[in-house]
Amino acid sequence: MAFIKLYREKLKENYQFLDSIFKERDIEWGVVTKLLCGNTIYLKEIIELGVTEMYDSRISNLKEIKKLNPNIVTAYIKPPSKRNIKRVVKFADVSFNTEIYTIKMLSEEAVKQKKTHKIIIMIEMGDLREGVLGEELLSFYEQVFSLPNIEIVGIGTNLNCLSGVMPTQDKLIQLSLYEQLIEAKFNVRIPWVSGGTSVAIPLLLKNARPMAVNHFRIGEALFFGKDIFTGETITGMHNDVFKLYAEVIEITEKPDNPIGELGENVAGNTYEIEEDTDLGQTSLRAILDIGLLDMQPQYLETDNPNITIVDASSDMMVVDISNSEKDYKIGDLVSFKLQYMGALYLLNSDYIEKVVE
């Protein structure tokens, strides 16, 4: 059975690295846990790190966090849907919002539940996902800041999530100016200017972050140590907090090319044989006990550089082990490093065992 493993010490070291750079700069931050898909084994590991804020895009995951530790500040990190209002107020201390209509519903529900619901107003900064347009921000704020049982605790933005717009220094300065405009016009204080996610960490390391930006939501950097600007691993961090292990269930020398009339495979792809291909060429192939139902091969990287991924069907993956120095046997495990989306597929699968080392 294939399984995904979390390495506790590597996670802890990544957390301590991030926590230190944020504390040095007097920045509050929370951990984005949506990657973990509500898995209580891994959520407990996050809580054990000493995290005080946890952010997720699924209400069911926030519910699990509150079960594990009701003192954790939970935040729902996408605009709530109408059908979710009651549960958002119940399980999320904070939610990200972009619609006046929705905030009014949150206010009404918070009154019913006798709670104060906190919100962060998300601002459109060019990535063209969620966000209030900048020219409409003051009018938007004016209509919601006095609603009963609603407390506006911050403004924020998301970048690099849809269109790939990067969080440059200029973008974050612009976000800071919005804070100043609101505070000056309404004589209020905005506690959090939430400057974004893991993609903005390189700006912090270069000390290029505007001082007003004092809050971050971090997921990918914690779990993968990735500098999203360069694609490299951040110096001092681990890129293998998670690994996939899949078992070898067949090893056979087989032709490199299929034999017979070709049509679409289960994934809708058609294999094409090039005219100058040596049809007699073979390779030593191993079949692993994992497939497209649980993962996507393009998000995996074999630990053994002499193994290449050939392709996968719904429940099995074929790898070429011809050049491997290790002599694989039936029952051996092949390990893979994971990209963010690779881990997300695996963690969302009920068929993949989750373990901790």
What amino acid positions are annotated as catalytic residues? 34
On whether the CB atoms of residues 236 and 332 are closer than 8 A, the answer is: no
How far is CA 78 from each of CA 102, 120, 292, 298, 354, rounded to the nearest angstrom?
Answer: 12, 10, 28, 27, 27
Dist. CA 13–CA 192, nearest whole Å: 26
On whether the CB atoms of residues 83 and 53 are closer than 8 A, the answer is: no
What are the backbone angles phi and psi of residue 75, rounded to the nearest 5°? -135, 135
On whether the CB atoms of residues 39 and 73 are closer than 8 A, the answer is: no
On whether the CB atoms of residues 141 and 121 are closer than 8 A, the answer is: yes
